[in-house]
Amino acid sequence: MATVLELPIETYDSVVDPDWCPGCGDFGVLKSLKMAAGRLGIQPKDLFIVSGIGCSSNLPGFIHAYGVHSLHGRAVAVASGVKFANHNLHVVITGGDGDGYGIGIGHFIHAMRRNLDLTYIVMNNQIYGLTTGQASPTTMKEVKTKSTPRGNVEQPINPIALALVSGATYISRAFSGEPNHMADIIAGAIVHRGFALVDVFSPCVTYNKINTYPWFKQRVYQLEKEAGYDAGDYSQAMEKSGEWGDRIPIGLFYKGDQAIYEDSEPALKHGPLVHQTLGMNSEVFQSLVAEMV
């Protein structure tokens, strides 16, 4: 096994400081992502962060790595293109519950069933923060928000259960109030070959006054410390995915070993597309560029 040379967290410091609200859970996610990359010894040039739109989707600008701040709900699609072009890169998607579980849910499901080798960190604050407090796909029933003043009547999305039935092979949950545990979960997601979901309870201190740090601290427990729990057991993972109330599990729900899309696609069998020849002369290539531009 190759020796991993850990890198200091400062390796990933950006020239731009985060501008989230003081106390926002996204600060913890950013720190944990840096910690995870450092523990794995990933050079900034080998790390690519893709996001959509939302408070959490500003994250690529706050970390020293390659990054794309893409379109609302399209982060998974853009990240897929990056990975196909160069699957030697560690491609990490960062976004929120509205971006990923709302407008982007179609891309989310299809990327999981294909088992693309991507890591998706979803900062799930159960509210639309950027647009100032509307109900999101994960807002609990009966919660009053700007868009549901009489209480939310919709059943919330269960990201863990959805990931299980859609084919993701690394399914986990973390909490911004436990950054060291989150860093371990993210590191495991990055090294995993296959689609890895890290659903993060990342409290919105401005617009969500229910799902707060104290609310989660009273309820969350780590699956790694649960006697008899086996993350390789699909049935156990599905049972735990529905646990919500006085006790809410965080940690690794499920880890499976299946072929990834990149290993099965014939077009990629000769290596990353960026390292393959175009199969055309420069004159034809330039004519195609001119036609498209």
pLDDT at residue 59, as a whole number: 97
pLDDT digits (tens, 9 = 90+) for 144-186: 999 999 999 999 999 999 999 999 999 999 999 999 999 999 9
Q: How far apart are CA 132 and CA 146, in angstroms?
A: 8
Is the pLDDT at 4 greater than 90? The verdict is no
Q: What is the model's pTM?
A: 0.94
pLDDT digits (tens, 9 = 90+) for 222-253: 999 999 999 999 999 999 999 999 999 999 99
pLDDT at residue 2, as a whole number: 63
Q: How far apart are CA 251 and CA 95, in angstroms?
A: 19
Residue among 228, 112, 222 at smallest CA distance from 164: 112
Mean pLDDT of 135-150: 97
pLDDT digits (tens, 9 = 90+) for 81-103: 999 999 899 999 999 999 999 99
pLDDT digits (tens, 9 = 90+) for 24-70: 999 999 999 999 999 999 999 999 999 999 999 999 999 999 999 99
**Domains of the chain with CATH codes:** 19-292 (3.40.50.970)
pLDDT digits (tens, 9 = 90+) for 253-282: 999 999 999 888 888 888 888 888 878 888
pLDDT digits (tens, 9 = 90+) for 175-216: 999 999 999 999 999 999 999 999 999 999 999 999 999 999
Is the pLDDT at 137 greater than 70? The verdict is yes
10 Å CB burial of residue 128 (0-12, 13-18, 19+) is buried
pLDDT at residue 267, as a whole number: 83
